[in-house]
Amino acid sequence: MRIGVLASGGGTNLQSIIDACSCGRISGEVALVISNNSSAPALERARKAGISTLHASSATHPDPAGLDGAILEALKGLRVDIVALAGYMKKVGSATLRTNRNRMLNIHPALLPDFGGRGMYGMAVHRAVLASGVSVTGPTVHLVGTEYDTGPILAQEEVPVLEDDTPDSLQQRVLEAEHRIYPDTIEAFGQGVIAVYPDDTVIRPLCITGEFDEAGRMLASDRESLRQIGAAGGVVFGAFADSRMLGCAAAAPSESEEDVWKLRGMAVSSTDRRPDLDSMMFDHVRKAVSNRSGGRVLLSPGAS
Ligand code: GRF
């Protein structure tokens, strides 16, 4: 997988992607780093790692369509498969976005759809989180849509907000989570473990740590079973539209038979649930089990 990164600032997320490529956590390489800011430390990090760089801004290309075209051509020229925005402070041009639809990712330092949109970047996000009094925040990785901070959500990691947090301390804790979640999501997306279907439904692994929120309408009994499956080293996938969960499927290793996993379909008590998603979720579970252990998944879809 060849990755193109667009970054305007410090580039710590870029660095986490470069490092993940070097150690094999991402099976790919960063082919190009583009910045609108010629003195961005992100460009320096890229040069240090021997990666091609491009400075493209209204200073180098006064005509917006020309700028859009230059960025698009650079990505094409280096045969980039996935584009990762990592603190890119400009709106991506329409030609670049159209051509890279469904393979351009962004990371945002809050749990979208909350605390996103125009003006919600940098410290403004963390200040708004603190002012709201929520107890949980954390980064979101999403596909880039046409408006700021929109597009199907691929992954989120919850980070607690502590009582004595300042915007700085919160930013620091969220940034650490960003450096975990962004490389892992790029790899999972690149490998098809996280998939976005044509109607924007996302099927992705679930991390069974926090509570599901009210809108998720997860039944308490299912939530407990899922937690147990997660704790037993099982795999759990959920199907989402926006941030609403439509359903989930899980498999746990069988205690009695080696290499046999038991599949469970979990109902989400929601009118949004689409039974047609079951087979897609089961496919993801089966693939994950076979990748992880080579194990077989037993029981027909729908069994519990
Ligand atoms: C990060 O907080 C990211 O979520 C946001 O911009 C910031 C970039 O930080 N989109 P860095 O340049 O990667 O250090």
pLDDT in single tens digits along all 304 residues of the chain: 999 999 999 999 999 999 999 999 999 999 999 999 999 999 999 999 999 999 999 999 999 999 999 999 999 999 999 999 999 999 999 999 999 999 999 999 999 999 999 899 999 999 999 999 999 999 999 999 988 899 999 998 889 999 999 999 999 999 999 999 999 999 999 999 999 998 899 998 875 443 444 433 344 455 666 777 777 778 888 888 877 778 788 887 777 777 778 777 665 555 666 777 888 888 898 888 888 777 677 754 444 4
Q: Which atom of ligand 1 is nearest to the CA of 13?
A: 13
Residue 87 alpha carbon to ligand 1 centre in Å: 4
CATH of 2-194, one of 3.40.50.10860, 1.10.1060.10, 3.40.50.170, 3.40.50.300: 3.40.50.170
The label of the residue with tokens 């780093």 reads 33
108 a catalytic residue = yes
Could you tell me if the CB of 156 is within 6 A of ligand 1?
no
How much is the pLDDT for 304?
41
Nearest CA owner, ligand 1 atom 10: 87
Within 10 A of 108 (CB to CB), how many other CB atoms are there? 24
Strand order in the sheet with 260-266: 195-196, 202-205, 235-241, 244-253, 260-266, 296-298
Q: Which atom of ligand 1 is nearest to the CA of 175?
A: 2
Could you tell me if the CB of 167 is within 6 A of ligand 1?
no
Q: Which atom of ligand 1 is nearest to the CA of 108?
A: 4
Residue 240 alpha carbon to ligand 1 centre in Å: 25
Q: Kindly name the residue from 55, 108, 142, 284 that is annotated as catalytic.
A: 108
Nearest CA owner, ligand 1 atom 2: 109
Note if the pTM is more than 0.85. Answer: yes
Within 10 A of 214 (CB to CB), how many other CB atoms are there? 7
Could you tell me if the CB of 12 is within 6 A of ligand 1?
yes
Residue 274 alpha carbon to ligand 1 centre in Å: 35
Give me the count of residues in the chain: 304
Contact between 4 and 84 (Cβ < 8 Å): yes
The fold for domain 202-298 equals: Aminopeptidase (3.40.630)
| Exposure string for 62-87, b = 16+ CB within 10 A, e = fewer | eeeeebbbbbbebbeeeebebbbbbb
Contact between 227 and 219 (Cβ < 8 Å): no
Give the domain ranges of the chain: 2-194, 202-298
Q: Does 202-298 match 2-194 at the fold level? A: no
Residue 128 alpha carbon to ligand 1 centre in Å: 16
- Of 163, 214, 189, 241, the C-alpha closest to 84 is 189
Contact between 154 and 185 (Cβ < 8 Å): yes
Could you tell me if the CB of 138 is within 6 A of ligand 1?
no
How much is the pLDDT for 270?
57
How much is the pLDDT for 42?
98
How much is the pLDDT for 285?
87
